[in-house]
Amino acid sequence: MIFRQMKNIDSAFKYVRTFTLILIIGCISLSMFTLGKSFTMIAEARSKIYILANGKALEAFASERKDNIPVEARDHIKSFHEYFFTLDPDEKVIQANITKALYLADASAKRQYDNLKESGYYTNIIAGNISQHISIDSIALNIAQSPWYFRCYAVEKIIRATSIVSRSLITEGYLRNVSRSDNNSHGFLIERWAILENKDLKIEKR
């Protein structure tokens, strides 16, 4: 009788021990799952950014910069050319646009600007009430090797009082990474920039 009671106690102890072990394993598993889920949710929350547009917060998603390099690089090149070649017969407008352009490129762009200035190009634009605008056709970009080579194809329109001159514009250069700033939001710098072609395509009378 005593042995039977001891056997029952031993069995009950084994059951309790097994149940406790299962409960502990279950708690640890639940804790690990909860912890993992929390890290996943935190990572997802960090990947979300919000853009304020017209008084409304719109959700956007952050991504690795390498995924956006071609898009950002082409936009950087496009912005530089638009600033450099968009001119109106106003000295302040010209200076403001050129200043923005020169933040996006190295001394090679400054040399082009100095050459145009010395030749009286900007003076003639102001004196002749001429406006100049540029339309980017395409940008060829090679990101296989840094610095990245590009070639930009565009059409330049020179608007005079009596005519509109369309010109073919082809430039080339290289891009390298620099720190982002208010003046250079893409974090690229154009180097060794050169104008390969700038010739008349057609002249239209106004």
Over the chain, what HEC string results?
CHHHHHHHHHHHHHHHHHHHHHHHHHHHHHHHHHHHHHHHHHHHHHHEEEEEECCEEEEEECCCHHHHHHHHHHHHHHHHHHHHHCECCCHHHHHHHHHHHHCCECHHHHHHHHHHHHCCHHHHHHHCCCEEEEEEEEEEEECCCCCEEEEEEEEEEEECCCEEEEEEEEEEEEEEECCCCCCCCCCEEEEEEEEEEEEEEEEEEC
Q: What tokens does 81 get?
A: 């050319």
pLDDT at 13 over 80: no
pLDDT band at 10 (very low <50, low <70, confident <90, very high): low
The pLDDT value given to residue 82: 96
33-90 residue pLDDT tens: 888 887 777 766 565 555 555 555 455 555 555 667 889 999 999 999 999 999 999 9
Bigger pLDDT: 176 vs 35: 176
Average pLDDT over residues 86-106: 95
Percent of the chain, pLDDT > 70?
Answer: 81
The pLDDT value given to residue 58: 53
Asked, as a colleague might, if the bond just before 147 is cis with ω within 30 of 0, I would say yes
